Structures are given as structure tokens and as C-alpha cells.
Amino acid sequence: MHPRLNSGSKYVALGQMVLLCLFAVATAAAQTAVTGEITGTVTDPSGAVVSGANVTATSTSTGTTETETTNSSGAFRFAFQKPDTYKLDVSHSGFRSTTETVVVSVGAVTAANIRMEVGQTSETVEVSGVAPLLETENANLTTTYNSGQIESLPNGGNDITAYAYSAPGVLMNSSS
């Protein structure tokens, strides 16, 4: 025989289930990547690293800036960048200022290895680039959908996971 629940304990059980579901949704949302990052190394014409160079990342759409200084290995890193096009301005005494344009995508690490030229600090070299077709910084696979693409995808039953199955490399496991 199963013990019967009185009406008060039914509400307590229901409340616990709701809290459990909210916790599961919050945990899943916290694991969703919504940013990317920019990493790179600053070198001189001979390929030697340039430590102490100032690297400034400027968002082309919002104008917000962040500045980092290269470490002893000539490396810099801008983590948690919103997807956008960024202008990287690099300066160091004894070198020409250099500008490079990079695109940050969701969940991707954008490599921006910058070679500075020896010269006057008043000279500026501008380099423009696009996102590489092959990601060599990590093995992560990401897919970004705009609202028009989501609206045009067939989705019987309004199952949100149906969108994930349209991404390259995603397979449904039907074994039980």
C-alpha cells in the first residue's frame, strides 16, 4: 500500500519539483557560451617577441575599449569579448604603431599575431583581416543562428533541441 499524501504535502512536493527544475535551467544557462576571446603574440620583424607592448581592443559597434600589456612572452589576451569586430591598436617605443582588425565569434578564440615594424612612433601600419576558415586555437565547434534563421527552421512541437540538430556534427542518440 502506498501512503496517501495530504494536500499540504502535495504542495510541498510540487514546490520542490519547481525549485529543482529552476535550478536545472539556471545551471544549463550558466554553461552557455555567449562570448569569444582574442589572443595573440606581438613580435618584431625578426620574429622575436615584444614584451611590454600596449594592445588596445576597441569594439567597432560600441566604441568600448580594453587595454592589455604583453607579457614576457609577447602574449596578450582579451577574454569574454562580445561577438563583434574589434580594432587592435598596438604600440611600443621604438616601433611603428600597428592596427589590426579582427572578428570575434561566439565561443571562438580569435588569433591575432601581430608583427611590429621598427620605426618612428608617429608612423602607423594598418592591417585588416578576416576570421580564419579553420580554427587552430582550439577544438571547439560553435554555430551561431540569427533570428531569421531560427524562424525559418522547421520545428514540429516547438522543441528547442531541434535547432541544435541542425548544427554541423550534432547527432541524435536514439539508443536506449
> What is the pairing mode between strands 124-128 and 84-91?
unpaired
| Cα 21 from chain centre | 28
Angle at 145 between CA 27 and CA 170, to 5 degrees: 70
pLDDT of residue 145: 74
pLDDT of residue 1: 45
* CA 173/CA 76 separation, integer angstroms: 40
pLDDT of residue 116: 94
**Number of neighbours of residue 143 by Cβ within 10 angstroms:** 15
How does 77-111 read in b/e, with b if 16+ C-beta sit within 10 Å? ebeebeebebbbbbbbeebbbbbbbbbbbebbbbb
Run means of pLDDT, 10 residues per run, the chain, 176 residues: 57 70 56 83 95 96 95 95 95 92 90 89 62 66 75 75 73 69
Contact 42, 74 (CB under 8 A): yes
| DSSP, res 94 | T
Contact 85, 112 (CB under 8 A): no
Length of the chain: 176
